[in-house]
């Protein structure tokens, strides 16, 4: 019983962290209606950044976020200007191939610069918290708390601020928003860069828990897509819900099912969700069946 409890708690906490990584993706999809295939590679680059700051400056990865988050915002803005924006008015295949190529590019530049070795940072907290029979890793708990804070802050931003309202208006009807004087291209830029910054934050939270290597993005991008589909496209609370589901399923299956399956887990989970619940947990219309540019 306590094993089960342990697995479920760890699953929920890790799921929260997965959710943080997916929020950027769901935000970009919700607003721009494009999918950034290089999302996982953005995470990879940010993780290398956090790793470098931790190793070279001796800071801890949470402090590194102060530098990584703005850096990723800038990186996102540059990618948007150079690749996404020119591709927006072209056939949808252009965005697909361009971001796919960007992801291959980033993977191989990382491979050339950092080699294929796994990099990690030394543990930050020596011991776990114990509640009754259950052990909780402090890094996990901290990551979960950061996710919750981030979700709440983002919700508040979208509900109340001018920028948030402008984003919602753009989602509802881009043309009408433009006529009302909302600078839609700038909203796109801010959303894309903001989504990238969130990935930067996720990378700093994940660095103490996972190793980084050039193709680390592929596993995580698939989880992110599963979460986004399960929770409903463009929904931030949905991402949290989806993340927790994925975390718990992963935690339980890695314990109860054969370890060879562990490598396959993300891919099988992805296909499984795509076959059986392409409309998400709550059955929102057309999450996975949606076209690329409408």
Partner 1 sequence: MLVTGAVSTKKPMRVPILPERGRLSWFELVLLLVCIGLVVASIPSSLRDVILLSFLFGGLALAWNIAGGYAGLISFGHAAFFGVGGYTSTILLVHYDITPWIGIWFGGTIAGVFGAALALICARLRGPFFILSTLAFAEVVRIGALNWSSLTGGPEGLSIMPTPGLASMVFASKATYAWLMLGYLVVVYAITKALEASRFGYYLFAIRDNEDAASAAGVNPLLGRTLAMALSAALTGVGGSLFAQYFLYLDPTYVISPELSFQFALLPAVGGLGTAIGPVLGSFLITPLSELLRSYFGNSAAGLHLVIYSLGLVVVMLYFPSGLAGALAKLARWRPFS
Task: Establish if 270 lies at the interface with partner 1 (CB under 8 A).
Answer: yes
Task: Establish if 104 lies at the interface with partner 1 (CB under 8 A).
Answer: yes
Task: Establish if 86 lies at the interface with partner 1 (CB under 8 A).
Answer: yes
Q: What angle do CA 167, 172, 176 make, to 5 degrees?
A: 90
Cβ neighbours of residue 80 closer than 8 Å, sequence gap 6 or more: 188, 189, 192, 193
Beta bridge partners of 119: 212
Q: How far apart are CA 127 and CA 12, in angstroms?
A: 20
C-alpha dist (Å) from residue 103 to 48, 171, 202, 229 = 15, 26, 18, 21
Give the one residue of 57, 78, 149, 271 binding partner 1; rule: CB under 8 A. 271
> Residue 131 is encoded by which pair of tokens?
């509640």
Site pattern 30..69 for partner 1 (x: CB under 8 A): -----x-x--------------------------------
Residue 226 CB, nearest approach to partner 1 (Å): 9
Give the one residue of 1, 89, 112, 130 binding partner 1; rule: CB under 8 A. 112
Taking the least distance from each CB to partner 1, the nearer of 140 and 287 is: 287
Q: What angle do CA 9, 249, 278 make, to 5 degrees?
A: 135
C-alpha dist (Å) from residue 211 to 14, 105, 119, 189, 262 = 15, 21, 5, 31, 16
Task: Establish if 91 lies at the interface with partner 1 (CB under 8 A).
Answer: yes
Interface of this chain with partner 1, residues 192 to 231, rule: CB under 8 A? 218, 221-222, 225, 229
Task: Establish if 18 lies at the interface with partner 1 (CB under 8 A).
Answer: no
Binders of partner 1: how many residues, by CB under 8 A? 44
Taking the least distance from each CB to partner 1, the nearer of 90 and 159 is: 90
DSSP state at residue 59: -
Residues of this chain that interact with partner 1 (CB under 8 A) are: 35, 37, 83, 86-87, 90-94, 96-98, 100-102, 104-105, 107-109, 111-112, 218, 221-222, 225, 229, 260, 263-264, 266-268, 270-271, 274-275, 278, 288-292
């Amino acid at each position: 019983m306590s094993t089960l409890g342990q697995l479920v708690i760890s699953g929920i906490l890790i799921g929260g962290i997965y959710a943080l990584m997916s929020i950027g993706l769901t935000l970009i999809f919700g607003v721009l209606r494009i999918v950034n295939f290089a999302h996982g590679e953005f995470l990879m680059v940010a993780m290398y950044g956090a790793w470098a700051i931790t190793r070279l400056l001796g800071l801890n990865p949470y402090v590194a976020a102060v530098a990584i988050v703005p850096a990723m915002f800038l990186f996102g803005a540059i990618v948007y200007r150079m690749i996404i924006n020119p591709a927006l008015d072209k056939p949808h295949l252009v965005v697909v191939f361009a971001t796919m190529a960007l992801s291959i590019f980033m993977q191989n530049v990382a491979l050339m610069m950092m080699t294929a070795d796994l990099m990690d940072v030394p543990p930050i907290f020596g011991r776990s918290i114990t509640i009754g029979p259950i052990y909780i890793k402090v890094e996990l708990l901290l990551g979960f708390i950061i996710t919750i804070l981030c979700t709440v802050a983002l919700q508040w931003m979208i509900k109340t601020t001018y920028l948030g309202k402008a984003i919602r208006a753009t989602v509802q009807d881009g043309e009408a928003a433009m006529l009302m004087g909302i600078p839609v291209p700038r909203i796109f830029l801010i959303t894309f860069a903001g989504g990238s910054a969130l990935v930067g934050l996720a990378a700093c939270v994940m660095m103490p828990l996972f190793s980084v290597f050039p193709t680390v993005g592929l596993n995580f991008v698939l989880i992110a897509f599963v979460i986004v589909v399960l929770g409903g496209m463009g929904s931030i609370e949905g991402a949290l819900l989806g993340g927790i589901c994925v975390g718990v399923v992963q935690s339980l299956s890695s314990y109860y099912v054969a370890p060879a399956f562990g490598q396959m887990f993300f891919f099988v989970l992805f296909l499984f969700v795509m076959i059986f619940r392409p409309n998400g947990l709550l059955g929102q219309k057309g999450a996975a069946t949606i076209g690329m540019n409408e």
